[in-house]
Amino acid sequence: MIDVIVAGGGPTGLMLASELRLHGVHVLVLERDAEPTRIVRSLGLHARSIEVMDQRGLLERFLALGQKYPLGGFFAGIRKPAPERLDTAHPYTLGIPQNITDRLLAEHAAEVGVEIRRGCELVGLSQDEDGVTAELADGTQPRARYLVGCDGGRSTVRKLLGIGFPGEPATVETLLGEMRVTANPATIAAANEEVRKTQLRFGLMPLGDGAYRVGVPAAGVAEDRAVPPTMEDFQRQLRAVAGTDFGAHSPRWLSRFGNSTRLADHYRAGRALLAGDAAHIHSPAGGQGLNLGIQDAFNLGWKLAAEVSGWAPAGLLDSYHTERRPVAADVLDNTRAMMELMSVEPGPQSVRRLVSELMDFEDVNRYLIEKITAIGIRYDFGEGHELLGRRLRDVGLKQGRLYGLMHGGRGLLLDQTGRLSVAGWADRVDHVVDVSEELDVPAALLRPDGHVAWVGEDQQDLLRQLPKWFGRG
Ligand SMILES: Cc1cc2nc3c(=O)[nH]c(=O)nc-3n(C[C@H](O)[C@H](O)[C@H](O)COP(=O)(O)OP(=O)(O)OC[C@H]3O[C@@H](n4cnc5c(N)ncnc54)[C@H](O)[C@@H]3O)c2cc1C
């Protein structure tokens, strides 16, 4: 029997499947679309996702196809440079179109042995005590011990499970597409400068091959957002917002997106779970959705693998919901706030000016950047050292870099004392005896997702913590 069926082969599903495979879990990805989509949604990775790629040995291939940009300007598009000395070895944004991210994640998944079936739509599911049976559009019924819905914002899995998805419908909509224009670059640059003073949902971005990525506010909110806009819709809206349609023609693809904001009531129902857009949707402000999904997968992968492998301590799998749902709730909130700050109304514009002034205080700027890049996340592991619950940044060791030792997705005890032991857990936790000038704690126990589960130097204390995360020794 298959261990885990992942419904949806977008970035979340692919990342999750690869994480499961690192632990030998037999995983099948079902992807509805026969071919990868041509539509490019996300344009980049933030610091925490860049760290995640580094922790799994994928960073070089992302860097080779991406472009580093300075951090800053992400909070509601307010142009302020990022503060110095952010708590990460990767204080930049990696510009990389989503279709390339998806391709790289699919290649990695294939390398680690994930089976991806394209052209397979999940249309039904049922579960019992032992497993979940998926029903596919072609009539086949694969069965697995667990199923994870990574099937996007309109998630079939979420609906079939009857999980509530409360929130607000879209109030504004933006048309987005890639096309050619006859207007010259100077005209376009001038229009970008002028119109974006008040309308931040407008913009023409050169793609380097003569085409442009064009965004423009729609006239209203479409009844069915799955129906793409026409070229005439684009031309009309460009004229209405910028006074010219820039001679736009020859679209590669046209789409629309809104600001509907919703969060799943539960991330788990029995043997079925949700991750990524299937669990949360919000406006693209700040560029966070794909990052959030990848980080959901990073949190869930090792926990579900532990459950499948039989060593998961009680409550470990449920900690996925308790840790990740508040993170998504916070992203929903900050995107709502950013959308308000991007409104052209005088009230929100005044608040925007005020927030912009506040960002001149370094602490405020740092707080907002840590939020958007997700490096400030701290899970609630109870009282303790300030590192507890946070992910540890990459630090230099005598034998290399910390993240370079985490590619296998196992737990890790970084022991600067040389006196500790993980005997009994050595099949799940690596013991690294080394020192780092960048780390002033005697030892730290890291979960496979890099979050700090324990800090200290007392073996008895460590022995109390190990079973909490890694089961019986
Ligand atoms: C305009 C725009 C710009 C964005 N920019 C950014 C950005 O800069 N940064 C960022 O982090 N995020 C951004 N996002 C958000 C990002 O695109 C999404 O959050 C991300 O794609 C979510 O990944 P996912 O894998 O959870 O879902 P999806 O990417 O939606 O993947 C779901 C997959 O499931 C498949 N599927 C659906 N139903 C079924 C079914 N029944 N059976 C089998 N397969 C199914 C679909 O075909 C799809 O491949 C942007 C979004 C938009 C609209």
DSSP assignments along 155-206, one per residue: -HHHHHHT----EE--S-EEEEEEEE--S-HHHHHHHHHHHTTT-TT-EEEE
| Nearest by Cα to 292 from 319, 256, 318, 329 | 329
Using the predicted structure, report yes or no on whether residue 427 has a pLDDT greater than 90: yes
With 0.85 as the threshold, say if the pTM is over it.
yes
User: What integer is the mean pLDDT of 201-227?
Assistant: 93
**Per-residue pLDDT band at 224 (split at 50, 70, 90):** confident
pLDDT at 69: 95
| CA 177 to ligand 1 center in whole angstroms | 16
pLDDT at 226: 82
pLDDT at 225: 81
DSSP line for 112-139: TT-EEEES--EEEEEE-SS-EEEEETTS
CA 137 → CA 1, 120, 446, 454, distances in Å? 20, 7, 42, 47
For the Cβ of 151 lying below 6 angstroms from any atom of ligand 1, the answer is yes
Angle between helices 231-242 and 185-195 (to 10 degrees): 70
The dihedral over CA atoms of 197, 203, 207, 209, expressed in degrees to the nearest 10, equals -110
For the Cβ of 46 lying below 6 angstroms from any atom of ligand 1, the answer is no
For the Cβ of 286 lying below 6 angstroms from any atom of ligand 1, the answer is no
**Per-residue pLDDT band at 249 (split at 50, 70, 90):** very high
> In testing the pocket of ligand 1, which one of 151, 205, 372 has its CB within 8 Å of the most ligand atoms?
151
pLDDT at 73: 85
For the Cβ of 248 lying below 6 angstroms from any atom of ligand 1, the answer is no
| CA 276 to ligand 1 center in whole angstroms | 8
The residue whose CA is least distant from atom 14 of ligand 1 is 42
- Tokens 């609630």 — which residue? 380
Total length of the chain: 473
| CA 8 to ligand 1 center in whole angstroms | 9
- The three-class DSSP label of residue 278 is helix
Query: Half-sphere exposure of residue 303, counting CA atoms within 13 Å on the CB side?
Result: 22
> In testing the pocket of ligand 1, which one of 33, 42, 48 has its CB within 8 Å of the most ligand atoms?
42
Beta-carbon contacts of 319 under 8 Å, excluding residues fewer than 6 positions away, are 303
